[in-house]
Amino acid sequence: MQYTNTKLVFWNSLKVTRRHLLFTVGYCLALSTILSSCNQSPNTTQSQQSAASPNSNEKPAETQVVRIVRSKQLTALAVLEKQGTLDKRLATLGFKVQWPEFAAGPQQLEALNANGLDIASTAESPPVFSQAAGAPLVYLATTAPNGKAVSLLVPVNSPIKSVADLKGKKVAFQKASIGHYLLVKALEGAGLKLTDVESIFLAPPDANVAFSQGKVDAWFIWEPFVTRAEQKKVGRVLVDGEKLRDTANFYSTSRQFYQAHPEVIKAFLEELQKAELWTQNHPQEVAQLLAPVTQLDPPTLEIMHKKYEYGLRPITEQVITKQQEVADKWYSLGQIPKKVNVRDGFLTLEDYAKITPSEVLAKQ
């Protein structure tokens, strides 16, 4: 019994000793850390803090993204992307530019409404169809008509000699596009209606295939598809839009993006106008720059350049009135489900003055 008591005392004393030992070691380590911190130079500590966070109360600003439609035509927008000037300008505002591609205007505005695009470039009709679907878009700026850059093609050996010969024929075009609108105008000029032809709704890439394979009798399309078809000797121009087109193209955005980032839109329009003027005055350089984009050789692009008039145009009451006529036309033809008040998509003239380049405003 005595031996047992002695053994318990020994083990209890050993446990206390271990506890004290662990405490002592931990204390020494903590003291060593404190002393080391005290000996650290103030500059080193401040440098580490600065590296971790310039301002402990603020998070570093994150780069935001603005998505602008990529143009694969002979346009100043395509030049703007290739030159990279907008990227540099918007980088100072904390934005990075992305250039997504879309088949045509209607697809752009679908993406705009679904928050998949921030700035679109379309003809007059896509915004009307988009507004009819309830999209809260905003018209930003407009352009010259450039009707010669849009043409009605027929196969090289087609017997069709005039628009009147299209009666009962299959005509391909992108629904709700400039091709759709100009087909209506061309048919009316020939005493026909849209119902007098068989409308084949195809996006440009699909229509290109159908036309090349002889599955349609005509195709209303824009450059560079027109010139490519001519060069490959698969199509010829029946009529172009020079005398047909009474509208222009629009740059547009969503109401949400306009309200959140007016400074980005202002910078975009200013840089775009610079690109418009440069494109107008440098046809040879533009041809070299955009040959890979359009898949056409520079000499051909220099000739095509003459089809275009460059430079932004301001939004005016006349522009709004004409766009309302387009909307009313589509409604009268039963192409949109309800009447559209296009003014819902336009800003006040005072608001346009805040984002439109001064030299563009001077054209009013």
62 band by pLDDT with thresholds 50, 70 and 90: confident
Q: What's the pLDDT score for residue 60?
A: 52
Q: Is the pLDDT higher at 104 or at 57?
A: 104
Q: pLDDT tens-digit profile of 321-364?
A: 999 999 999 999 999 999 999 999 999 999 999 999 999 999 87
Q: pLDDT tens-digit profile of 260-281?
A: 999 999 999 999 999 999 999 9
Helix, coil or strand: residue 249 = coil
Q: What's the angle, vertex CA 180, arms to CA 179 and CA 185, rounded to 5?
A: 90
pLDDT beyond 50 at 239: yes
Average pLDDT over residues 25-38: 39
DSSP code of residue 59: P
Measured in degrees and rounded to the nearest 5, phi and psi for residue 232 equal: -85, 0
The CATH number of domain 64-144+248-361, selected from 3.30.70.120, 2.30.30.40, 3.40.190.10, 3.20.20.120: 3.40.190.10
Would you say the pTM of this structure is higher than 0.85?
A: no
249 band by pLDDT with thresholds 50, 70 and 90: very high
Topology of domain 148-240 in CATH is D-Maltodextrin-Binding Protein; domain 2 (3.40.190)
pLDDT beyond 70 at 9: no
pLDDT beyond 50 at 34: no
Tell me which of 41-55, 213-227, 250-264 is least confident.
41-55
Q: What's the pLDDT score for residue 57?
A: 56
Q: What span, in angstroms and rounded, lies between the C-alpha atoms of 101 and 177? A: 16
Q: What's the pLDDT score for residue 305?
A: 97
Instruction: Tell me if domain 64-144+248-361 and domain 148-240 are identical in fold.
Output: yes
203 band by pLDDT with thresholds 50, 70 and 90: very high
For the chain, the domains span 64-144+248-361, 148-240
Average pLDDT over residues 87-92: 98
pLDDT beyond 60 at 105: yes
The Cβ-side half-sphere exposure at 288, using a 13 Å CA radius, reads 4
Q: What's the pLDDT score for residue 33?
A: 41
